[in-house]
Structure formats: C-alpha cells, structure tokens
Structure 1
Amino acid sequence: MSYKITIDSCGELLNEWKEDERVESVPLTLMVGDESIIDDQTFDQKSFLKKVAECPECPKSACPSPECYMKAYENEAEHIYAVTLSSELSGSYNSAVLGKNLYLEEHPEKKIHVFNSKSASGGESLIAMKIIECENKGLSFEEVISTVDEYIEEMSTFFVLENLETLRKNGRLSRVKALVASALKIKPVMGSTPEGNICQLDQARGMNKAIVKMVNHIGEKGINIQSKTVAITHCNCPERARMLEEAIRERLNPANIVVMDTAGVSSMYANDGGVIVAV
C-alpha cells in the first residue's frame, strides 16, 4: 500500500526524507518582533538566533492553516498520515484535523489520520519513523494507527536549556529568577507530561550536570529503551549532542540513536545551546 506522511515543521526531517516524496513538512510561521519567518527549507538558524537574541519580545509561532494541510492531503497515496506537535503547545493538531474533515467531505473514500504527538521536535520524527516501519511491515491502515497510538503513549520527551531568555520573555520565568539562575549557572531539566505539556523535572548547576540528571530521568521514565530509537536534537551545539549521545549509549544502550539539528520551531523553543531527547 502507498502512504504519505505530513509532519509539521516542529518535527525534524531525517536527511533521507528530504528527498522522499512520501514525507512532507508543513511549515509553521515564526514571528520575531514585526518580522515573519516561514519555517521551511529556507530557514537560517544562525540568523534566526541572532534576531531572537536582539529582540526584547518573545518569539512566537503560528500553526499551518487547515488549507495548508488540505493541500498536503491532496495526493494519490492510499494511506495518509499527519504528525503534529503536542496539542497542548500549538493549534497545529486542531488545524490538521479540521483540514482532514474538510478534505474528507469532498473525498470520503480517502484514508487520513492525524496523530497528536504529545511531543515535539525529535518526538515527531520518531513517530514518522514508526509509521514507516509499520507500513513496511504491510500493516493495515487501522493496525498502523493502533500500533503508533500505543507507541506515542509510551514516549517521553526531555530537554535542557542553555539560555533561559525565551522562558523569561514568555513569562514562564521572572526576570529576577532568570538573572539568579544565569548567575548561578542553574540549568532546568524539563520534560513532557502524559498529556503533552511541559514540566520541570529537575535542575543542576552547570550544563554537564544537568545533562547527567536528564539521562537519569530518561532511564527512569523510558519504556523498553533497549529496543527503541532515541532521537537527539540540538540547537547549534553538535559537540554537546555528541556528548549526550555517548552518555545515553553507555548508560541506556538503546537500539539506535539519531541526532539532528533543530529546525525553526524547535530552535525557537530550545534556543541557542539547548538539547532535546525523545524516546
């Protein structure tokens, strides 16, 4: 059976997907001050991070419209899937579902399903990988949905931030707390709730100690890691990502690890130096 996977641009694309017509990214729009930036293949991470650092306002994002998703669903594939970032963090999921419902009114014969990743970044990439695995095994459309839904329920996402400015600008951290945390080099260890929201799991003085604590939390919360792929995404810090990869491989021994640089939306959330792990 032929298939098509649409991922909103918060999910990173593996290199081989960029040339694969079966995988498509639907871009969100990023706003830095008065400037709008489309999160597509033209995204310039270095320029974006510089603009965010210089802008006193918090960067924002706007989800793809239902029409954008409808256009993505317009193809000859027999099974069509969409993967969006957590519905707790963005309207992308609701937009994808509305686009599906509108498209099915005119094409009721099509098989389309939208997955709420309850995650972001590499978590969405892992879900797309799972869909491809299921399709390659020849599972039916309904079996793919059931298997991937179970996979999502077992997933967890973690991240550590080098820079707390985005949290300060969007009101999640007061200016005083941000200044104190920066002065003491305190790094929060963050994670996802079962519903797909964000929570603080821990904190540590210094990035290396925070990464060690994050790996410990991954070991405690991760389910069947030895048989799974771990996704590491980093924002402009490849050496830190390699260190994290080595720590996870040595401590948790997963079946596979993929490492990717963040695209636009994930760069906005993680900020310069941030690292994200999904498993």
Structure 2
Amino acid sequence: MSYKVVIDSCGELPERLKADPRFDRASLTLTVDGEDIIDDETFDQAYFLKRVAESPNCPKSSCPSPERYMKAFESDADHVYAVTLSSELSGSYNSAVLGMNLVHEKNPDKQIYVFNSRSASVGETLIALKIEECEARGMDFDDIIDTVEAYIAEQNTYFVLESLETLRKNGRLSNLKAFVATALKIKPVMGATGEGTICQLDQARGMNRALVKMVDYVVEKASDSAGRILGITHCNCPERAYMVRDAILQKIKVKDVIIMDTAGVSSMYANDGGIIVVL
C-alpha cells in the first residue's frame, strides 16, 4: 500500500527523508518583532538566533492552516498520516485534525490519521521513522496506528537550555528567577510529561553538570533501549550533541542514533546551545 507522512516543521527530517516524496513538511511561521520567518528549507538559523537575541520580545510561532493540511492530505496515497508537535504547545495538532475533517467531508473513506506526538523536534522525527518502519513491514492501517500510538506513549523527551531568556520572555520564568539562575549559572533539566506539557525535572550549576543529570534521566527511564532509536537535536552545538550521545552509549545500547541541528521552531524553543534528547 502507498503512504504519505506529513510532519509539521517542528520535526526535523534527515536528508534521506527530505528527498523522499512520501514525506512532506507543513511549515510553521515564526515571528520576531513583526518579521515573519517561514520555517522551511529557506530557514537561516544563524539569522534567526541573532534576531531573537537582539529582541526584548519573545518570538512567536503560528501553526500551518487547516487548508495547508487539507491539501497535503488530498493525496493519491492509500494511507496518510500527520505528525504534529504536542497539542499542549501548539495549535498544529488541532489544525491538522480540521484539515483531515475537511478531506473527509468530500471523501469519508480516505484513510487519514493525525498523531499528537506529545513531544517536539526529534521526537516527531522518530515517530515518522516508526511509521515508515511499520509501512515497510506491510502492516494494516489500523495496526500501524495502534503500534505508533504505543510507541509515542513509551517515548521520553528531555532537554537542557543554555539560556533561560526565551522562558523569561514568554512568562514561564519570573525576571527575578531568570536573573538569579543566570547569575549562578544554573541550568534546568527539562522534560515532557505524558500529556505533552513541559516540566522541570532537575537543575544543576553549569551546562556540563546539567547534561550529566539529563543523561542519567535518559538511562534511568530507558525501556527496551536496544530496540529503539536514540534521537538528539542540538541548536548550533554539534560537539555537545556528540558528547551527550557518547555518554548515553557508555551506559545503554540502542538500535541506532540520529543527530540533527534544530530547524526553526525547535531553535526557538531550544535557543542557542540547547540540546534535545528523545528515546
């Protein structure tokens, strides 16, 4: 059976999948001080990070429209899937569902399913790869949905931020707390709850200590790691990403590892120097 996977642009795609016509990206739009920046192949990370650093305001994002998803779903493929960033963080999931409903008004038998990743960034990437794996095995549409939903439920997402400025600007941290944390070089170790919301797991003084704590969380929560892919995205800090990879692989075995630089939306959340790990 033919298939198509539509992933919103918070999920980075490896070069192999970018060249695969079965994979499509629905771009979000980032806004910094009134300037709209499309999160597509034209995205310039260095320029975006510079604009964010210079702005006193928090960057914002807007999700793809239901019509954009509808057009992507109107495909000749037998099975169509969407993967969106957590519905707790963006309207992308709801927009994709609306797009699916628009298609079903004309073609109620079209097999479409929208996955709420309850994650972001490389978490979405791994879900897209899981769909590809299931399709390659020739699984039925409903069985693929059940398998991928179970996979999502078992995923764990972690990240460490170099800077707290984005959290401060969007109101998640008070100015005083952000100032004290910055002055003391405190780095939060963050994660995603089962519902896809962001929570603070721990903190440490200094980036390296925070990364060590994050690695410990990854290892502690790893389940059937030998059969899973370790996904790491970094925002402009590849050496840090490889250091985290090596530290994890010293303690557990995994099926494979993918390391990528953050695209637009992930760069906005992670900020310069941030690391995201999903297993």
TM-score by length of structure 2 reads 0.99
In structure 1, runs of 5+ residues without a counterpart are none
2:263 and 2:11 map into 1 onto residues whose CA distance is 8
Match of 1:253 in 2: 253
CA distance in 2, matches of 1:87, 1:3: 24
3-state DSSP of counterpart to 1:87:
coil
Counterpart for residue 112 of structure 1: 112
Q: Deviations over 1:177-229 (max 9, x none)?
A: 11211111110000000100000000011111111100111112222112100
Q: Output the CA distance in 1 between the equivalents of 2:8 and 2:128.
A: 11
CA distance in 1, matches of 2:252, 2:56: 40
Q: Distance in 2 between matches of 1:41 and 1:269?
A: 19
Note the C-alpha offset of 1:252.
1.9
Partner in structure 2 of residue 86 of structure 1: 86
Which residue of the partner structure matches residue 157 of structure 1?
157
**Per-residue displacement from partner, 1:221-248 (whole Å, max 9, x unpaired)?**
2221121001000000001001011111
3-state SS of 1:251 partner: coil
Distance 2:255 2:160 in 1: 23
| Superposition pairs of residues 1-279 of structure 1, within 5 angstroms | 1-279=1-279
Q: Is 229-238 or 106-115 further displaced after alignment?
A: 106-115
Deviations 1:58-77 (A, max 9, x none): 00100111000001112110
Which whole-Å CA distance do the structure 2 matches of 1:242 and 1:222 have between them? 19
Question: What is the percentage of aligned positions where both structures have the same residue?
Answer: 65
Give the SS at the match of 2:115. strand
Deviation at residue 109 of structure 1 after TM alignment: 2.6
Cα distance in structure 2, aligned partners of 1:194 and 1:221: 13
Question: Displacement of 1:90 after TM fit?
Answer: 0.6
Q: Give the partner amino acid of 1:45.
A: Q
Worse-superposed segment, 219-228 or 84-93: 219-228
Deviations 1:153-190 (A, max 9, x none): 10110000001100110111111211211111110000
Instruction: Tell me the secondary structure at the aligned position of residue 231 of structure 2.
Output: strand
Q: Which aligned segments of 4 or more residues in structure 1 are displaced greater than 6 angstroms?
A: none
Distance 1:116 1:83 in 2: 6
Tell me, what secondary structure is at the counterpart of 2:250? helix
Counterpart amino acid of 1:71?
A: K
Q: Quick check: 258-267 or 248-257, which moved more?
A: 248-257
SS at structure 1 position matched to 2:251: helix
Q: CA deviation at 1:273?
A: 0.1
Equivalent AA in structure 2 for residue 35 of structure 1: E
Question: Could you tell me how far apart the structure 2 residues matched to 1:125 and 1:198 are?
Answer: 19
1:92, 1:40 → 2: CA distance?
15
The number of residues matched between the two structures is 279
Q: Hey, what's the Cα distance between the residues in 2 that align with 1:221 and 1:90?
A: 26
Looking at structure 2, the residues matched to 224 and 194 of structure 1 have their Cα atoms a distance apart, in angstroms, of 18
Structural RMSD (CA): 0.7
Task: Give, in angstroms, the shift of residue 132 of structure 1.
Answer: 0.3
TM-score (norm 1): 0.99
Which secondary structure state, in structure 1, belongs to the residue aligned with residue 80 of structure 2?
Answer: strand
Separation in structure 1 between the aligned mates of residue 107 and residue 20 of structure 2, nearest angstrom: 25
Q: Distance in 2 between matches of 1:268 and 1:11?
A: 13
Looking at structure 2, the residues matched to 60 and 248 of structure 1 have their Cα atoms a distance apart, in angstroms, of 33
SS at 1:252 equivalent: coil
**Residue 115 of structure 1: how far off its partner (Å):** 0.3
